[in-house]
A and B are shown apart, each in its own frame.
Chain A
Amino acid sequence: MTVLHNPIATPTPGAVTEVKTTTCYMCACRCGIRVHLRDGEIRYIDGNPEHPLNRGVICAKGSSGIMKQKSPARLSIPLKRKPGSARGDGDYVEATWDEVFETLTTRLSHLRATDPKKFALFTGRDQMQALTGLFARQFGTPNYAAHGGFCSVNMAAGMIYTIGGSFWEFGGPDLDRAKLFVMIGTAEDHHSNPLKIALSKFKRSGGRFISINPIRTGYSAIADEWIPIKPGTDGALLMALIHQLLKHDQIDHDFLRNCTNAFDIVGADGLTRRAVPEEASPERVLEHLRTRVADCTPAWASEITGVPAARIELLARELAHAAFEQSFTLPVQWTDTEGVTHDHVVGRPVAFHAMRGLAAHSNGFHTIRALSILMTLLGTIDRPGGFRHKAPFPKAIPPNVKPPNKWGDIQPNTPLGGAPLGFPANPDELAVDPEGNPLRIDKGFSWEHPLSAHGLMHNVITNAWRGDPYKIDTLMIFMANMAWNSTMNTSQVRTMLNDRDVEGNYKIPFIVVCDAFASEMTQFADLILPDTTYLERHDAMSLLDRPISEFDGPVDSVRVPVVPPSGNTKPFQEVLIELAGRLKFPAFTNADGSRKFKGYTDFIINFETAPGSGLGFLGGWRGADGTASIKGAPNPNQWDMYAKNNCVYHHVLPESQQYMRNWNRDYLHQAKEWGFNGSLEPIRIQIYSDVLQKFRMAALGNWPGKQPPEHLRERVAHHFDPLPFWSPPLELAVTDAAAYPLNAVTQRPMAMYHSWDSQNAWLRQIHSHNYLMVNPKTAQAEGIADGGWMWVESQWGKVRCMARYTEAVEPGTVWTWNAIGKSKGAWNLDADADESRKGFLLNHLISEELQIGGRSMSNSDPITGQAGWYDVRVRIRKAQADEPAESSPQFAAQKRLPGMSLPKRIQQYFAGKAA
């Protein structure tokens, strides 16, 4: 038959095609991509097969990058609030970049010269902290953090304070060799494509995958077994598993003896000391742990978690079976820190993975400590088949990076002595004055949240509005939607952003927002700086920050521009470098007062952590000739080398340095050489945490240095338990559980997780709005129909939404996809778009603060400040028939900003046709 339309012929004969590699930024995963251009337009974006992270695969977001590039929500010109208009009116006029820099330089140099802490820089993205943190440090303000405080700091802190590394990009399950894989809670959103690749291989090779989660979505869907559990109770389950393993003596004695403080002796002061060999004592850490879990029986945990006791017992047996009966060795020679050379490493093929599901509870720190200890008892830390570290981890427990700890550390026109964020090892390292007053606007590293390694971005606006602990002047927000889905108590936070004092001055005097998109946040800005997209700029995924390392060695990567910047946009990095130069930060200024760096690319190549250190942002192709790895003099051709090599640098460690790195002499030497870790001492696993004990000592008055204020003594003493324990989330103590019988949590759908621009023409067709997912029995008890309108209420707020029945949730929990619902008109969507009319935000139901002991305190983990946004308790009821069929609350429609395009009604994207 005659075919008119040749399906094989190219539709654009003669078009010029080109392929450029760079790194994806549609989410936090940072896969290698190839951008295929046709006549200069993006034909398609695929995974780079040469890239070690994603090995050619790509996800739904990465495949939708074109729609990000073409989004009508993009900001194209710098904007300033229209003179005479009120903040929140949404009236803006165009500004020039010169004007922007002059305004900021004038304002910020004044703050820096007078009271640097009045400048606060908070960024949603936490993968350019090496630069943003450096900027804050050089400015001299402690008020800096990224979004980790409400993301998963409990995971980072809980594990780093226990084993010196963590899930996240810092370590993960070795599924290539594991036989049993246990995933607890939602954990889909970090390192996602590599985990998907690994999970598939794992399942195909016959591995067994158990998912413990209130909800069966995402990876849990393909679990061989799903064990439903009540939210916030995972710690109880983990304690019971520890109970069982100890009871049946199914623990790795050698590992505990050689690699942990299990056999240390707890002294009268509650601190540990090394035992002399074979010293038996009831004060051994292991015995303390045994006592701690004595009552944590499966029956006890079953009451709390809803998991049958028999299943818990069996799960403990399964774990032990995998760890010990399926054990194997690899003929890998390595030398420990005692100088003993071993001819093999032991594999304990039971791997875990967890992330926000455990972390986003106010009891999450101890839950994650319990998980770390469970993994330790099974001997599965940095061993084949278990948890494996990734460079620059493991680090000393805790890492030797400390926040400022006295007012004197914050001086006009002076950089901070260290990073704004860090890991306190004792009360004296807290960012509080001797009276216990917080140094930071978010009260990070204060007695309320001593180990808040990622800060508390979720409390910045409330604190700044209230002037507690002090007032600030300028709040700069980069790529964070603090007026919507990245804040709790959203409705009131929006009011605070606009609120004025009795004189009519804004309580937060000046707000600068830098973003590529017109989010809900931009309408509260006094100054809007239009950022570029990831396809238009340089970027470094640095070893100084959160790189993309593999188990076998450090990996860093870069982005290079593949298309020219749109409109009058400027990469935020360039903005920072420019400001740093204008503000004459020491690290950015030559001795003669001239600017040190021409721009971001110049800075990335030439910046060294210390003069002549040979360590900089990028580890690849260092040295003048480009032959040095990780350490070496700056190489002027470094960007070119990355661009020529798939924008990624992978240094594979010798096999002898790939395992047991906490105790691996050669690795620790290498790590010190590369600046990953400052010490050659073995990183002994802290089953019993002396760090926690020191804070408890302070609370009990037994610490010579800083002491908590009276009203916090009991709280600190209770929570800073050197051994893990389970207690209900804080919110439960201030909740009538009978009135609010249900837990409400959120997950992000895989097509949108960790992407901050979910208004994407292709992705929003998959998720244009969200439902509250309810077990049919729970819904029917309230007369709520499948698809029917309903109210979900917490003691903090209420939301009207639609119900969807699901059998994949335990009946005591309701959940929804997060960050699908949008405020009317935001992201340049129509005022009646599904996102605002039918979608909703659960954040309205969650409070950023709780009244504890008559005081407002962050609704966060009392140890780390991790936002407890999975702790909220709710009730549900049917909406009345006469209510409008739209979600509630609704907000006034946001105006379209100058420089934004009119959204198309019909879109037919076809690359290169225009050319």
Chain B
Amino acid sequence: MNPAWAVIFLTVLCGAAQGLTVALLMAEFVGTGHATPGAAHRFFMGGALIALALSVGGLIASFFHLGRPERAWRTAAQWRTSWLSREVIALPVFMLLLARYAWVHAGGASPATILMLLLFAAAFALWICTAMIYAGIPFIREWSSPLTFINFVAQGMAAGFVLANLWAAFAAPRWVPIYAPIALCLIVAAFAVRMMVLARNRNLRPQTTVQSAIGIQAPKVRQVAMGAMGGTFNTREFFHGKTAQVMMGIKWTMMGLGFALPLVLLLAGWGMAQVLLVAAALLAIFLGQLAERWYFFAEANHPQNHYYQSIA
């Protein structure tokens, strides 16, 4: 597939928002140990607003994916069958709950448990919807796996907890030593999940072949001409057109910025509440996840590509 930048930003930004939300709710349940309730409220409200801002960013990005954004309001119509439709519902619900949660904290009150449970559920529902958009296409083998969901959650949680760590350094220092090791663990976990995805994809056998694509069972079948020489939607949308070297570079960017560098930076800043290092780790993880999501699209092989291999 040709990675869609709008969707990359949407999923990375929202994923971080969802992860941050989970981190906030965790602190909410455990308790922040703030000296004053006001400081705790500020922490939660601020965190929620950050998550909301990220979600809004994701939502805005998503509009760039649409050919006719003015008709976006129609997208909720098919929630019975379409995971995209469901995502379109889940995201605003998540954002509304986040806003409500922030509002309650802004008012100096503690949110009702049910609100927090709903928010938690919405974050996960959004992950399910987002992941199922991809995992629900059975013939894109790279995506059609529970790992897609697990990976989205893992990456979002890692980013969200690093972000929580950074926010806590400003607004809830007591939580820095709690968030930091969890973030570390989540980065390791996200790395492990991503490795599993890569390993799985490496061993994937395509479900379809050029033989089944045109229905001719012979050992050697190859396309000579796709019937269009100046490119088509099919060549633009489903091929990234990047060389193996570029792909390798992006994979290592994902590894280095997404996992290795943030790990090193967090460890380097261990116990020092080193804000700059955590911020750098966050920036690295953000860039790394953009690479990760780009790679997620690029490594997906669409069966339609059997029909678009050669021009003559």
Contacts and interface: CB of A to CB of B under 8 A. Distances in A.
A806 interface: yes
Nearest to B228: A765
B312 A768 contact: no
A908 to B, nearest CB: 15
A769 interface: yes
B310 interface: yes
A773 B312 CA distance: 8
Contact of A766 (B220, B224, B229, B310): B229
B312 A766 contact: no
A806 B229 contact: no
Best-surrounded residue of B220, B227, B228, B230 (most CB of chain A within 10 A) = B230
Contact of A765 (B224, B229, B312): B229
Contacts of A769: 229
A596 interface: no
A804 B312 CA distance: 7
A834 B230 contact: yes
Given A773-B312, A804-B310, A804-B312, A768 B230 contact: yes
Interface in A307-336: none
Contacts of B229: 765-769, 834
Nearest to A769: B229
Interface string B201-232: 00000000000000000001000100111100
A534 interface: no
A768 B228 CA distance: 8
B56 to A, nearest CB: 30
Nearest to B310: A804
A766 B227 CA distance: 5
Contact of A804 (B220, B224, B228): B224
A767 B226 CA distance: 10
Nearest to A770: B312
A393 interface: no
A36 B245 CA distance: 54
Contacts, number: 24
A688 interface: no
B229 to A, nearest CB: 4
Interface in A750-777: 764-771, 773
A764 B230 CA distance: 9
Contacts of A807: 220
A626 to B, nearest CB: 47
A770 B224 CA distance: 12
Nearest to B77: A1
Interface residues of B, number: 8
Contacts of B312: 770-771, 773, 804, 806
Interface residues of A, number: 15
A541 to B, nearest CB: 32
A785 to B, nearest CB: 13
Contacts of B220: 807
Nearest to A820: B229
Interface string B301-312: 000000000101
A768 B229 CA distance: 6
Contacts of B310: 787, 804
A885 to B, nearest CB: 15
B42 to A, nearest CB: 49
Best-surrounded residue of A770, A806, A834 (most CB of chain B within 10 A) = A806
Contacts of B224: 804, 806, 808
A914 B312 CA distance: 37
Interface string A795-813: 0000000001011100000
B203 to A, nearest CB: 28
Contacts of B227: 766
Contacts of A766: 227-229
A770 B220 CA distance: 24
Nearest to A1: B77
Contacts of A773: 312
A787 B230 CA distance: 15
Interface string A161-181: 000000000000000000000
Contacts of A765: 228-230
Interface in B224-249: 224, 227-230
Contacts of A808: 224
Interface in A830-845: 834
Contacts of B228: 765-766
Contacts of B230: 764-765, 768, 834
A804 B223 CA distance: 11
Best-surrounded residue of B220, B228, B229, B230 (most CB of chain A within 10 A) = B229
Best-surrounded residue of B220, B224, B310, B312 (most CB of chain A within 10 A) = B312
Nearest to B230: A768
Nearest to A817: B312
B156 to A, nearest CB: 35
A768 B230 CA distance: 7
Contacts of A764: 230
Interface in A819-878: 834
A603 B224 CA distance: 50
A806 B229 CA distance: 17
Interface string B287-312: 00000000000000000000000101
A807 B221 CA distance: 10
A687 to B, nearest CB: 42
A656 to B, nearest CB: 48
Nearest to A773: B312
B305 to A, nearest CB: 16
A768 B225 CA distance: 12
A720 B312 CA distance: 42
A664 B10 CA distance: 82
B178 to A, nearest CB: 51
Contacts of A770: 312
Interface in B259-312: 310, 312
B76 to A, nearest CB: 15
A729 to B, nearest CB: 27
Contacts of A806: 224, 312
A136 to B, nearest CB: 41
A36 B104 CA distance: 68
A414 B224 CA distance: 57
Nearest to B224: A806
Contacts of A787: 310
Interface string A698-712: 000000000000000
B189 to A, nearest CB: 43
A834 B312 CA distance: 12
A770 B312 CA distance: 6
A72 to B, nearest CB: 17
A599 B310 CA distance: 52
Nearest to A838: B229
A768 B231 CA distance: 10
A765 B230 CA distance: 6
A687 B163 CA distance: 94
Interface in A578-619: none
A262 B312 CA distance: 48
A67 to B, nearest CB: 15
Interface string B91-105: 000000000000000
Nearest to A816: B312
A806 B224 CA distance: 7
Interface string B169-188: 00000000000000000000
A807 B229 CA distance: 20
12 contacts: A764-B230, A765-B229, A765-B230, A766-B229, A769-B229, A770-B312, A804-B224, A804-B312, A806-B312, A808-B224, A834-B229, A834-B230
Interface of A: 764-771, 773, 787, 804, 806-808, 834
In the A-B complex, the 8 residue pairs with the closest CB atoms: A768-B229, A804-B312, A771-B312, A768-B230, A765-B228, A765-B230, A806-B224, A769-B229
Interface of B: 220, 224, 227-230, 310, 312
Given A804-B310, A806-B224, 14 more contacts: A765-B228, A765-B230, A766-B227, A766-B228, A767-B229, A768-B230, A769-B229, A771-B312, A787-B310, A804-B312, A807-B220, A808-B224, A834-B229, A834-B230
